[in-house]
A and B are shown apart, each in its own frame.
Chain A
């Protein structure tokens, strides 16, 4: 079973690496977008799945990463990957103080506070001429889809590796302890404030790195796209579908849902909202723990 999984993963990896050399632009773009959504879902899963702080505004860091990357390319003429790396680090660093403040809120207050944070940053950027205001921030012409593809592949694989590590580490156990009961975790010598801020920063780093690639992919970014609550909804739906707080949940949910999201969003925006909103409601009632734990339970039952 385990060997089979390793073989399948290696095969998938090889296919993903050679895909841009062999496939036409449409499929490369589709795989790229899938990796963006899967990566964002992994970022969300760290703070919301493992640490239990449901955030409806993690997209803030995607936008911050994108804008920071844009400034570094335009202002300092950095090579885009270096700029995107720096963009991710900017998101990580800003997440420190923001997390210190916002993570004092809990439950619905934190979720809605983060939503408000994303909206506030969006409003501020829209009102600032230096950021291109509502029209958006434009990069010098000339983008290279293949390099963005490999960048995002690396970030997403990194996010999966990070999640694998968290899942098996003492850090991951401390996060899950504070998710189950923060006060009890605190009395058991878990430094809850530090642990949850670290989780928040790692989550922000992933979103920021993906955002940095995204602005180079589009060659521009606008506030409404960079801080879109739709992307937050997508991360939540994908992770809930796959399994919140599991290693493979965001991947399974993300790959399945991206195809539906892409087919619907461009043609039927209202239909997209109805399907994604309705699906989230239905999933919570019918399959609350997600696909991955359900499949695992089925296999465990078959083994006995």
Chain B
């Protein structure tokens, strides 16, 4: 296969990774919570979309707004009913919220298996391709990429220009400072968790057009989002895109050159290497 073709595929994939990672980044930025159930929400949204497409014949783009709304409600509920009620720390640092989302992740995998079974599903929607010279651009990937980009820009505009977005950014920069300025931290956290989860659900809906997914694959997308955020720098939204493109390229190139078996480890290795060598990310500044 032509290298340019692999790069094009990688970049298209990176667009969807970026969307998923944005959600992860908002939750981490505001709450300092690493949501280990993030990927499971991505996958459940994708499977739900595949189910709706398969049995009801709904177009994924019609499902998308419903997925966003559903993801928002689910995320706000996870915060309000679970994370907010955590009574402090069991050992050190973020251990208790981390462990809670670790449990939630397995809970969601089990639920996914009970509802959808263990089979791989996808949405055979827009199976054609556009050709630019010898390079083929699959329509589904292109649509997913463009939609992901639009959603990411809308999210960026929301965070940048609306009062609520401003409160979210303020909270992620300095909790006490935001509190002193009259920001309702609890409400911001509920909103952020809802927003982050809504973005994950949107990413999942788009991914269902590209990937064959099964309920056990959630953890791959969690690591993926975590790796993207670490590569791009925590709390750095522009860095998300850079990280996602790198990971998308790594995914395509490693699967082609060293085989899909070993490529499975690529996000883990990238994650460990970047955390060790450049903990502030490629674009990030040092955060304490």
A binds B: yes
Check if B108 sits within 8 Å of A277, measured CB to CB. Answer: yes
Q: Mark B73-103, 1 if CB is under 8 A from A, else 0.
A: 0000000001001111011111110111011
8 Å CB interface, A77-111 against B:
101-102, 104-109, 111
Residues A107 and B91 in contact in the complex (CB < 8 Å), given A119-B265, A270-B113, A272-B110: no
- Give the residues in chain A near B279, CB-CB below 8 Å: 109
Chain B at the A interface: mostly helix, strand, loop or mixed?
helix
Check if A284 sits within 8 Å of B107, measured CB to CB. Answer: no
Check if B113 sits within 8 Å of A244, measured CB to CB. Answer: no
- Give the residues in chain B near A123, CB-CB below 8 Å: 261-262, 264-265
Residues A285 and B82 in contact in the complex (CB < 8 Å), given A52-B92, A107-B95: yes
Check if B91 sits within 8 Å of A48, measured CB to CB. Answer: yes
- Give the residues in chain B near A116, CB-CB below 8 Å: 223, 267-269, 271-272
Identify the stretch in A5-13, A61-69, A233-241 within 8 Å (CB) of chain B at 4 or more residues: A233-241
Residues A56 and B107 in contact in the complex (CB < 8 Å), given A107-B94, A116-B269, A274-B114: no
- Give the residues in chain A near B172, CB-CB below 8 Å: none
8 Å CB interface, B273-287 against A:
275-276, 279
Check B200 for interface membership: any CB of A closer than 8 A: no
- Roughly how many angstroms separate A276 CA and B104 CA in the complex, as a whole number? 9
- Give the residues in chain B near A112, CB-CB below 8 Å: 34, 36, 223, 226, 271
Q: How many residues of A are in contact with the other chain, CB < 8 A?
A: 51
Check A289 for interface membership: any CB of B closer than 8 A: yes
8 Å CB interface, A241-282 against B:
244-245, 269-281
Check if B269 sits within 8 Å of A120, measured CB to CB. Answer: yes
Check A229 for interface membership: any CB of B closer than 8 A: yes
Q: Mark A46-73, 1 if CB is under 8 A from B, else 0.
A: 0011001010100000000000000000
- Give the residues in chain A near B223, CB-CB below 8 Å: 112, 115-116, 119
What's the nearest-Cβ distance from chain A to residue B7, in Å?
24
- Roughly how many angstroms separate A120 CA and B273 CA in the complex, as a whole number? 12
What's the nearest-Cβ distance from chain A to residue B148, in Å?
24
- Roughly how many angstroms separate A54 CA and B98 CA in the complex, as a whole number? 9
What's the nearest-Cβ distance from chain B to residue A279, in Å?
7
What's the nearest-Cβ distance from chain A to residue B229, in Å?
11
Check A136 for interface membership: any CB of B closer than 8 A: no
Partner of B98, one of A49, A102, A107: A107
Partner of A277, one of B103, B259, B267: B103
- Give me 22 A-to-B residue pairs in the complex whose CB atoms sit less than 8 angstroms apart, sorted by A's number: A48-B91, A102-B272, A107-B94, A109-B275, A109-B279, A111-B34, A113-B275, A119-B268, A120-B269, A124-B265, A180-B92, A229-B219, A233-B106, A236-B102, A240-B99, A269-B113, A270-B113, A271-B114, A278-B107, A280-B106, A281-B103, A284-B90
**Residue ranges of A at the interface with B (Cβ–Cβ < 8 Å):** 48-49, 52, 54, 56, 101-102, 104-109, 111-113, 115-117, 119-120, 123-124, 126-127, 179-180, 229, 233, 236-237, 240, 244-245, 269-281, 284-285, 288-289
